[in-house]
Amino acid sequence: MKFRPARTPMHVLLTAAEIGAGIDRLAAAVRDAGGGRPLTIVAVLTGSIVVVADLIRRLEGPIRLGMVWASSYRGAATTPGGLELHLDQLPDLTGHEVLVVDDIFDSGRTLQALLGELRGRGADRVRSLVLLRKRGRAEVGIEPDFVGFDIPDLFVVGYGLDFDGGWRHLPHIAALDPEDIAAIRAGRPPHDAAHVPTTRLAGLPRP
């Protein structure tokens, strides 16, 4: 049998423990800024579902939950295409304090479009929270109000983020390398990301 060298594991950007500490910090910041007012959380599907589930259990006071679907990627694409917004699952926002929660701030086009739409629906105040912000990728003049972690310009999966529908279930956040992306585009499976990773990307700021 021909020997095939083992593939290098995915680079771990954030461990489950680090993510948990980051969610704690985000929840505390949201509580401090909200002053105890009722809050409507607007989850940007599908990547934010894990973030939202963990975040709302750390918040206090009356909380409503709405959902929007936004997408600018298709299949195994790693560059954004045309933006689509579906807002039919939103509650009435008139006079409400609104917090948009998304998984990642990349170009910023999705968040900018969503904030404009929600403010046009009569919300008293609309702020935004993202778990991750990619450095050097913004194409808009806005920034999220609350940011969990700044990360390098890499394609990441885990903790709700996917690539071609896979790996949302990972408890940590890891980076897909170019070899994995090429394999998926060619219809070949990448190395198994479900195993416990053994490498961590250098240079990431600690929580």
Q: pLDDT (tens digit, 9 = 90+) per residue, 52-111?
A: 999 999 998 899 999 988 766 544 444 445 677 777 778 888 999 999 999 999 888 888
Integer angstrom CA distances of residue 86 from 5, 15, 68: 45, 32, 6
Paired strand residues for 130: 102, 147
Mind listing the domains of the chain with CATH numbers? 17-150 (3.40.50.2020)
Sign of CA dihedral 29, 160, 137, 73: negative
User: Which residues are catalytic, by number?
Assistant: 106
Cα-Cα-Cα-Cα torsion 162, 104, 108, 64, nearest 10 degrees, comes to 110
Q: pLDDT (tens digit, 9 = 90+) per residue, 14-49?
A: 999 999 999 999 999 999 998 888 999 999 988 899
Length of the chain: 207
